[in-house]
Amino acid sequence: MNLIQNVNTLIQYGLPGHFLSRAIGRLAFCENRKVKDFLIQQFIQRFDIQMDEVAEPALDAYPHFNAFFTRALKDGIRPLAGKEHIASPADGTVLSGGQLSENTRLTAKGHHFSLAELFGSEEYNKTYQDGHYLTIYLSPKDYHRIHCPMDAELKHMVHIPGRLFSVNESTITAIPAVFARNERVIMHFKSPHGPFSMVLVGAMLVASVETPFAGLISPPGQTITEWNYHRGAHHKFAQGDEVGRFQYGSTVITVIPNSMKGVHEEMTSGRAVRMGESLGQP
């Protein structure tokens, strides 16, 4: 790790991440037309946003910057891989993936952390013993809605409070188990092919995740919050249905059991993926 990475890491340890997220959040939700239009226009130019993919290209359609940031895409612009595939839940870049080592351990840039650390519980260790995982990073320029990779039913959701370290190559290398330390939402699903889980990891400037079924997931305090969806209150999703959206760039980790075939070999670190394309087979 070089000097710049060291300094960046030290700064982040000292920064009040949640305070920064709230401060940036106020600006992102500012409804002053001149302010929000300026922010959106600068963002489009800075990140070369492909406006021909956007469902609503007119700036007047967005009451604030965050509405544009979590914009919808045109119908059909992201074809789905099909029922015999595990579709990518998001646009982004593969950070890491493969088989869980030592039964239930994940790897990110040389650091190892357990599934129990990531999930905040050992409850799913047996379910995913020797299973597979894939980590996708969403940069600010990426489409920020998260979609279901297979037809499935949401059974259990957990919000774990934590830090808001920035998620990028430098911090993943420098900060051990950053994904298991940042604020995150874990969704546990049941599909016709077996169970799978998705972890939506927060980052600096990402203090919350929003879902179409539970609204903004940002419980107060520092306690773990759980939602159990029993018979009569099931939440069913088809492949490609939206399950959540980030308020800013972050990371999605998909975990599947050993009973599924796993992720494609070409899904290696640095590969760009788009929502809907095949990550593997169930």
Active-site residues, by number, are 91, 147, 250
Q: Are 123 and 180 in contact (CB under 8 A)?
A: no
Give the Cα separation of 245 and 69 in Å (integer).
10
The tokens of 278 are what? 């095949």
CA 116 to chain centre: 18
**Residue that is written with structure tokens 């379910």 in the block:** 127
Cα angle at 248 between 246 and 251, to 5 degrees? 65
Alpha helix (H) residue ranges in 137-254: 169-174
Long-range contacts of 177-184 (CB under 8 A, 24+ apart): 177/108, 177/111, 177/112, 177/113, 177/117, 178/108, 178/111, 179/106, 179/108, 179/113, 179/118, 179/135, 179/251, 179/253, 180/113, 180/114, 180/117, 180/118, 183/159, 183/207, 184/118, 184/159, 184/160
Q: What is the spatial distance between Cα 108 and Cα 135, in angstroms, rounded to a whole number?
A: 9
Pairing status of strand 184-191 against strand 194-201: antiparallel
**Both tokens assigned to 178:** 């950053």
User: Number of C-alpha atoms within 13 angstroms, CB side, residue 14?
Assistant: 6
